[in-house]
Each structure stands twice: as C-alpha cells, then as structure tokens.
Chains A and B, each alone.
Chain A
Amino acid sequence: MLPVEWSGEEWTGLDGAPGIVYDLGCNIYSPDGRVFQIEYAAKAVENSGALIGLKCKDGVIIGAEKLMPSRLLMESSGRRVHPVGMHAGIAFTGYAADGRPVVNAARQEVENYHDYYGVDMPPHTLAERLGHYFHAYTTYGGYRPFGLTTMVTSFDEVTQEPFLHMIDPSGTQFRFHGAAAGKSKQAAKTEIEKLNLKALTCAEALKRISLIIHTIREEEKDKPFVLEAGWITADTDWKFQLVPKNLRDEAFEWGKAEFDKMDDDDDDDED
C-alpha cells in the first residue's frame, strides 16, 4: 500500500499534501512528464566528489576527487576508479555503495563479450550496455535508480582509439571530449573548456585535473580528499591502468601549489 489517498480530485499524501505522490516510485510520471526518483538520484551525485574525464592527445584520463569523511579511513579504501577489463575502466561518483554492482556488471559484460566474439568489447557497446543497465533501474516498481554518474573509458580495437563516455542515473550515455560530474560540475566544465585537449597529454592532464579539483572545491577546502585516476594511453600500451600513486601524489601537490599561488594573486588583487 502506497501512503497515499484519493481525495476525489487528485492523489495526495496521507497528510493531504498535494503532489507528493509522484516521487514515491519511478514507475509513474508526474503530470509535467518527470520521473522524480531519477532527479533525486541525480541529487545524490551532486552531493558527491568531482569526477573529471578528458580525452587527450595520447589517450583518455579520468580523475576522481574521493572525499575522505574521516581521518581514520585508509587512503586506498572506497575506490572510485576500477578496471573492468584489460582495455577498459570505469569511475563513478555519487552514492558509493551503488558503484559495486555497476562495476561487476561492467566486468561481466566485458568478459561475456570477449568470450562470445573473441575481441575486446568496443567502447560504444560497453557504454550502451551500462546505459541499459542504468535505465532498467528507472523503469521498475520496487527498484530505485542508481545514485551514480559513471564515466567509462575503453580502447576501440577497430579505430585504434580510446573513448570517453558518461552515463547519468537516467541511463542516458554520451561520448565526450571532456566531461565533469559531481559537486561543482559547472565550474569544472568551465575550466575544462579552457583546456586545449588536442595538444594536452594525459600526463599533463593529470596535473590539470588536480588543479581543477583544487580550484572548484574552494568552500570545503579543509575537507581532505584523495586524487584517484585511471588512464588509457599510448604509454600503457592502450591498456587501462590505475595511475600510480607517485604520479598522483605529484599531481596533487602541483595542483595544490598552483591553486595556492592563484589564490594569493587573487588576495593581492583585492588589496
């Protein structure tokens, strides 16, 4: 039984408040054509750390701002970037617990495809299958959409090129030159648009991502975070690889220093 009543005119909550009924599940639209649960799922993403993906000159890189809610947490726990095959990896931001089944689903898809066709799953197929998976959770009563935005990077054997895809809670997926998700994604997108992606290498992009994350998280800059990243580049032989810790640490410090410099300049301007 849904906690709703029929007033004779419209459905209301038990307290008689109108309209509330349309967000109780994702199996009905609101009169103006929205599925509220999907929008709420998107809210879960907006409250979470930033995710930035860039398709560069020599590959694709995805970086994640992993917020550390406690200093007691191990740095390597609660990973946001995951390999799902030799040639593919995904990263997510949002409701972290929802990430596990998505990672497993992606791994299964990649494995089954290789079993069946003997070649690596093409990027658009992987993104499409994950899109379907997300979408299925927006159509059934008793299910809720994933509170996740997911970026997929994988290498296309046919075009010999890596791709970047992003999937949101509704299951829509697009291909991107550069993408951002999570908290302050608008600010991040503005920063990405300033980059010359055709000339940028992944190694440089790692630093840029660090800087962008440091820049856009101004209001909560005292909250600790870990920079996680994964890439597919010519240097990794077009295999997906988690970016080694020393490179991430280096990029983290560079981004922090650059941001502090800019911050000081700003302060100077004010004086």
Chain B
Amino acid sequence: MASIASSEGDRTLDPAMQVGGAGVDVASSTPLQHRFSPYSWNGGTVLAVAGKDYCVVATDKRLAEGYSILSRKIDRALQLTDKTVIACGGSHNDVEALYNHLKLRAVMYKYNHEEDLSTIGAAQLLSNTLYYKRFFPYYALAVIAGLDDDGVGYVAGYDAVGSYLRSRDGYTANGSAAAIAMPILDNALGKVGVSSGLDEKPEYSIADTIEMLKDIFVTVGERDILCGDAVDIYAITATGTEHEVFELKAD
C-alpha cells in the first residue's frame, strides 16, 4: 500500500530512487519510499562589481524548478540598508527565510545603536547567520554588495554555510550561472586571477559597469536555462541606491 501511495508523490523522477539512496531494503523488505527533500534548486544568478566609490549588484528574477519556470518576477535581492544589498541564488524558501531573519536583525540593530548596520557588519552578520545553521544549512548562495566605512565599494561572496571573502579585485559571481559569468568578469576586471591579462585594475564608470553587467546577463541567459526573464540591478553610491529592472528573454 505504501508503495502504491508513495509512487504518487512528486511526479518527477528522483535519481536517488534509482542509484542507491532509497530503493528497496532487501533484508527487511521495506517498500520503496520517496525521500523528502527540504531543498529545491530554484536557480538565481548574482553578479556584483565594486568601484572606488560605488557598487553594482545584479540578479535575475526567474524562479525555476527543474525544467519549469514558476515565476518570472520574483525579488532575489534584499536592500538591507541604504548602502547594503544582499542577493542570493539557491533554494528560494531558505532565501526568503534568511531575508526575513536579516531584516529583523537590521531593524533591531538600528533600534539598539541608533544607526544603520554597516556593510562590513552586515557581511559578518550574514556569515554568522549562515554558519549558525551549519548542520541544516540555509541553501542560499549569497553575495553582499555595498560601500565600506570609507565609502569604497565592497563585494563579498559566500558559500551556504557562511564562509566568505571580500573580493580583492572588486567583483564576484554566485548562484546558478556563476561558473559561466566568473571567467567573463575575470577577463574584464581581474588583475589577481590567472585569466586576466591586465596589469592595472581598470576603473569603469558606474554607468559602464551597469552596461557590462547587462551584457553578461544577456550572454549568461543564453547558456543557463535557469537564468532569464529579467534582472534586478541595484547601483549603490554614497547618495543612495538606484534600482532598475532590465528585461531578458523570457524563453
């Protein structure tokens, strides 16, 4: 009975059912069961570039699952303070839960300290928050972007359990198409990495940076099926944050 019923769970093929994982336990003849996964892989690509007095972060608006598109207009980025934005790919349920938590912490910080949480502070808070759930992680591949205490662009990337690093070259990519976008960024902006031919770190204007990120998203949208529909772009400067939506192919 259980086997009859369980075969009606998700009507997607679970590779784990074929390759070990679950399957039939021969010794006790336990019927085959679906294994519940608390995670989903909803895509989400995040790119961020820091300049000497600005920071730009861009993330797509497609919510995908398998070969399906669930939504073409979700928000993946969280404007935490006037000069800090966080964006995550990964399992969108965890991303939302993480954002709800961070929003609360940012508000509490402001009540307690009578000033906004700094970008560097937010970066450490995000790390601690992710690491706190080290043994049942938030599946959130985060990028934090903002201005540091000197007003200089700050960009850092994270893994799901809170390991993070401020980018030395001032750019990072995370999420679904990070592996496609990163070499492009390396080539355009990298000084430290081996794929760069640059001797000096180039200084692009904020407008040129935004144009470059748009171009990269157009290219990445052609190669990664989870990436597309539209991009949220946040341009952070000392005077505040400007937001625009850039349309991609909805295919």
Tell me if chains A and B make direct contact, with any CB pair below 8 A. Answer: no
